[in-house]
Amino acid sequence: MHRETILKIAASASLLAALAFLTVPATPAFQLCGFHWLTGRPCPLCGLTRALFALGKGQWTAALDFNALSPLALAMLCSLFWSGSVRSRLWSAGIGAFAVYGVARVIFPGA
């Protein structure tokens, strides 16, 4: 195996280990999102940090409650350590999905 491949696998494993072993509070003490401060509505990324940590612990239901696109975001994060057309297509589709999700969250905040 090439050294570069080993480093990519190690980086992906480190990211997943950090998500699995570190814990963030389920309810934040205060909102960090400027969009949420200004509008009172969640942005496409609201809840994503908590969702990623929930995914790292295998808590899929909680993760999807925090942010429905968290599995996509995790795949996008892991793809940062890889190269090629698959990564670029994943990121293009992911950005589009988050844009649509953001509009839906503004229009239908309780859904």
Predicted confidence (pLDDT) per residue in 22-81, tens digit: 888 877 777 788 888 888 888 888 889 899 999 999 999 999 999 999 999 999 988 888
Question: Please, which pLDDT band fits residue 84 given cuts at 50, 70 and 90?
Answer: confident
Cβ atoms within 10 Å, residue 102: 18
**Is 33:46 a contact under the CB 8 Å cutoff?**
yes
Q: Which residues contact 108 (CB under 8 A, 6 or more apart)?
A: none
Split into its structural domains, the chain has a count of 1
Q: State which residues form the domain around 14.
A: 3-107
Q: Taking the model in full, what pTM does it have?
A: 0.81
Dig out the tokens for 95 from the structure.
């950005």
Q: How far apart are CA 9 and CA 12, in angstroms?
A: 5
Neighbours of 90 (CB within 10 A): 16
H helix or E strand, kind and range, residue 34: helix 34-39
